[in-house]
Homo-oligomer: A and B are copies of this chain.
Amino acid sequence: MSQLSIGIGLMGLGVIAGQVAKVLADKADDLAARVGCPVVLRRIKVLPQDLKRPRAKQMPAALFTTDEDEFFNEPGIDIVVEAIGGERPAYEYLRRALTSGKHAVTSNKEVIAKHGTELLALAQENGVGLLYEASVGGGIPLIAPFKHDLVANEITGIFAIINGTTNYILTRMAREGMDFAAALKEAQKLGYAEANPENDVEGYDARYKLAILASLAFQMKVMPEDIHCEGITRLAGRDFRYARDLNFAIKLLAIAKRSDGAIEARVHPVFIPADSFLAKVDGVYNCVQVEGDLVGRVLFMGEGAGPSATSSAVVADIVAAARKIVLGIGSLSAWQPVSGKRIKPIDEIETQYYVRLAAADRPGVLAKIATVFGNNKISIASALQPESDDITKTAEIVIMTHPAREKAMQKALKELAGLEVVNEISNCIRVEDIEGSES
């Protein structure tokens, strides 16, 4: 099959779409050499308000259409690049692209996390590809390793820093003793956090990405709602101080791992050993540690977001789809869930815990607290009482436990909160014993 050129239809004109259009234009010669024929941006589907953007005014007006039907009926489009974001109408657009026999490329984590299985099956039915490398970790290759490079492995664990906003905030809190609100404000000022930061700081963004990675790694359907999720808003400056004293760092990790024949999948702040590699990943960097039975530990790191890094992955996917068209190959292989593994409810997981609480500063208080842990079969590894306040007669107590069941811990926390001598459970953070940075 000989092809004169590959036509691209772009949906959206936000920063990512704008950057993709720019790369397709700036690197046209390079991309043509890679693909074997020119790759041409044929049409851009926009909203009326997009036409007022400065980047719209730098492109030929004839490229644009606000009409969905006109866009999909354009005969010269071989590959649809969806860069709208959000669940709808992106989901419907991707369905329509695939159903009409066009390859589709997307950076949309929400749509892939929620509808990936269905859309991949639809692509397969229609003999085309659905490529989504940009949906996780910007330009860091994270989807490809699971689809290709690591296929000989049984993946045993994924430990991922996959949200740059929260990692930036945690880095500032750890280094400068800032509290959450101040660090968030800094991140917003620098453009690392949005005006409404909920999606990042509550862990929802990381949860979408983990759903995608875990589905691939364990060859099963892991939905966002299957993943236990806690954000970073409850972390205080003093938690970082205690973490440092105990030789830990605090990170928001997305974790998926095999556990007693089932899968654990969760996003929450964790204590990790200060000498582990992930503990050293600071600022807006993303880093995904993957563990496999053959490969051991491999780590993938880089800037996880930003239009430039994301366009690196989107354009690589465009090149991959275009090569398939040039070579006359359809969808190489669908992603099919083969494992029917159960996802453990959070109640069933077992881990160590850091508990910080405020209690009355008088003799016998620690004994009462320890009794509650003991009654719930939770062993205490260490207890610190680093500070007391002479005026209010309260003391801060920090407890590290041995591995315990989440269910027992939640019950213990409830009972502790009910103790007359306990003023407040200030925080409870799980401890993840990932290994250090060397073997």
CB distance from A117 to the nearest CB of B (A): 17
Which single member of B33, B280, B300, B312 contacts A280 (CB below 8 Å)? B280
**Measured CA separation A18–B316 after assembly (Å):** 36
**Interface size of A in residues (CB-CB distance below 8 Å):** 59
Nearest residue, chain B, Cβ from A282:
B438
Which single member of B144, B300, B323 contacts A333 (CB below 8 Å)? B323
In the complex, chain B residues whose CB is within 8 Å of the CB of A23: 152, 294
Given A144-B144, A280-B437, A323-B332, answer yes or no on A300-B303 (Cβ-Cβ < 8 Å). Answer: no
Nearest residue, chain B, Cβ from A153:
B312
Q: Is the CB of A283 within 8 A of B439?
A: yes
Stretch binding the partner chain, chosen from A133-141, A394-402, A411-419? A133-141
Q: Mark A249-288, 1 if CB is under 8 A from B, else 0.
A: 0000000000000000000000000000100111111000
In the complex, chain B residues whose CB is within 8 Å of the CB of A27: 152
Q: Is the CB of A309 within 8 A of B294?
A: yes
Nearest residue, chain B, Cβ from A23:
B152
In the complex, chain B residues whose CB is within 8 Å of the CB of A312: 149-150, 152-153, 292, 294-295
In the complex, chain B residues whose CB is within 8 Å of the CB of A144: 141, 144-145, 148-149
**Measured CA separation A302–B151 after assembly (Å):** 16
- Which residues 29-64 in A have Cβ within 8 Å of B in the complex? 30-31, 33-34, 36
Q: Is the CB of A299 within 8 A of B301?
A: yes
In the complex, chain B residues whose CB is within 8 Å of the CB of A302: 295-299
Work out how many copies of this chain go into the complex.
Answer: 2
CB distance from A287 to the nearest CB of B (A): 8
Q: Is the CB of A280 within 8 A of B277?
A: yes
In the complex, chain B residues whose CB is within 8 Å of the CB of A311: 152, 294
**Measured CA separation A311–B294 after assembly (Å):** 7
Q: Is the CB of A277 within 8 A of B294?
A: no
Q: Mark A312-337, 1 if CB is under 8 A from B, else 0.
A: 11011001100100010100110000
Q: Is the CB of B284 within 8 A of A439?
A: yes
In the complex, chain B residues whose CB is within 8 Å of the CB of A299: 299-302
Interface centre among A282, A294, A315, A320 (most CB of B within 10 A): A294
A351 on the interface (CB 8 Å rule)? no
A163 on the interface (CB 8 Å rule)? no
Nearest residue, chain B, Cβ from A192:
B439
Q: Is the CB of B148 within 8 A of A285?
A: no
Nearest residue, chain B, Cβ from A296:
B303
A171 on the interface (CB 8 Å rule)? yes
Q: Is the CB of A438 within 8 A of B294?
A: no
In the complex, chain B residues whose CB is within 8 Å of the CB of A315: 151-152, 294
In the complex, chain B residues whose CB is within 8 Å of the CB of A140: 295, 298
In the complex, chain B residues whose CB is within 8 Å of the CB of A332: 323, 327
Closest 5 CB pairs of A and B: A283-B438, A152-B315, A139-B295, A298-B302, A141-B149
Given A138-B295, A296-B302, A303-B439, list of 10 further CB < 8 A pairs? A141-B144, A144-B149, A149-B313, A151-B315, A280-B280, A285-B438, A297-B302, A298-B301, A298-B302, A299-B301
A interface residue numbers (CB < 8 A to B)? 23, 27, 30-31, 33-34, 36, 133, 138-141, 144-145, 148-154, 171, 277, 280-285, 292, 294-303, 306, 308-309, 311-313, 315-316, 319-320, 323, 327, 329, 332-333, 338, 437-439
14 contacts between A and B (CB under 8 A): A23-B152, A141-B149, A148-B320, A149-B316, A150-B316, A151-B316, A152-B319, A292-B312, A294-B308, A294-B311, A295-B313, A296-B303, A297-B302, A300-B300
